[in-house]
Amino acid sequence: MRTPFPGMDPYLEDSTLWPDFQRHLVACLYQILLPGLVDRYTPRIVRRSCSTGAATPEEEYIEVRQRCDQRFVTLMDVVSPTNRTTDAGRQAYLTTRREARDGGANLVELDLVLQGTPMQDYSREHLPEWDYAVTVTRATQPERHEIYTATIQKRLPRFRLPLAADDRDTVLDLQTAFARAFDQGDFSSRIDYSRDPAVPLRDQDCRRIETHLVGWHLREPGPPHEEIARAAYSLWEQEGRPHGRHLEHWQKALAELRRRKEI
């Protein structure tokens, strides 16, 4: 079974699933890229370490180099939850990016993460709202960003991967790579859709996720939105109206209402 979502599956941000998913996604992107580049370029999968205390996870990304002289042409990197939520992970990612930029490479960032702080700090003013983005920065125009976006409700985008200045771009379909990675990792059997994803979501996205999962018969219809909102508000008041715990109260209220329904 494929993911019940039309694009990215937010359940994959679980810390027990993401590292394996990222490896599969990078491998699938590499497999899709290789046939069209092999004559002139040498793409390869590279690993970096992100020391986060006791654990030292490895993250994979793709380098594309000129076959004739091994000149660094393009970096394609996948942002992880570790990059967006820890100082060590962020610095490891930014170091990879800085070294590629200093080497004159094009930069392609695939950000499929909802939690934490985005790696890109460009303004979103006058841009449509999005959850996921591919950001392309060409070596010839380092201050300009090409942004390809998607929301939880839409398929992941196709995007242009820049190569050498005298060569045309190659087009990658991120949704195709994602679907292949999801299938190869057998994530449909590893995700528990009866619970809520472990990522911060807006109320409207919670409702849409519920609709998707009920439609796929992966979850029983939950309590009405208004009932959850009232219960979450009550919890917020009981705990002294703390700031920044909206998601926690919402999830607690939903879990309690579901428990009562099962009794």
**Residues 6+ positions from 61 with CB-CB distance below 8 Å:** 26, 45, 46, 48, 75, 76, 77, 78, 96
Question: What does the pLDDT read at residue 55?
Answer: 62
- Could you give the number of structural domains in the chain? 2
Residue 134, both tokens: 């591919």
pLDDT (tens digit per residue) in 196-237: 888 877 777 777 787 878 887 787 776 777 788 888 888 888
Lowest mean pLDDT segment, chosen from 120-124, 159-163, 247-251: 247-251
Question: Which range of residues forms the domain containing residue 247?
Answer: 193-262
Tell me whether residue 2 is in a domain: no
Residues 108 and 167 reside in one and the same domain: yes
CB 136 within 8 A of CB 97: no
Look up residue 158 and give its DSSP letter.
E
Residues 132 and 216 reside in one and the same domain: no
Determine the Cα–Cα distance for residues 146 and 141; give it in Å rounded to an integer: 10
Q: Name the residue with higher pLDDT: 185 or 51.
A: 185
> Phi/psi of residue 108, each to 5°?
-125, 120
DSSP SS3 for 58? strand
Question: What does the pLDDT read at residue 1?
Answer: 62
pLDDT (tens digit per residue) in 77-110: 999 999 999 999 999 999 999 999 999 999 999 9
CB 14 within 8 A of CB 198: yes
Tell me whether residue 1 is in a domain: no
Residues 120 and 237 reside in one and the same domain: no
Phi-psi region of 145 (alpha: psi -120 to 50; beta: other; left: phi over 0): beta
- Rounded to whole angstroms, the maximal C-alpha distance in the chain is 69
Tell me whether residue 183 is in a domain: yes
Domain boundary among 165, 188, 211: 188
Tell me whether residue 4 is in a domain: no
Tell me whether residue 110 is in a domain: yes
Global pTM value: 0.83
For every residue of 65-95, DSSP letters joined together read EETTT--EEEEEEEE-HHHHH-HHHHHHHHH
pLDDT (tens digit per residue) in 165-200: 999 999 999 999 999 999 999 999 999 988 888 887
Tell me whether residue 231 is in a domain: yes
Residues 115 and 233 reside in one and the same domain: no
Q: Which of 177, 167, 54 is nearest to 110 (CA)?
A: 177
Question: What does the pLDDT read at residue 126?
Answer: 78
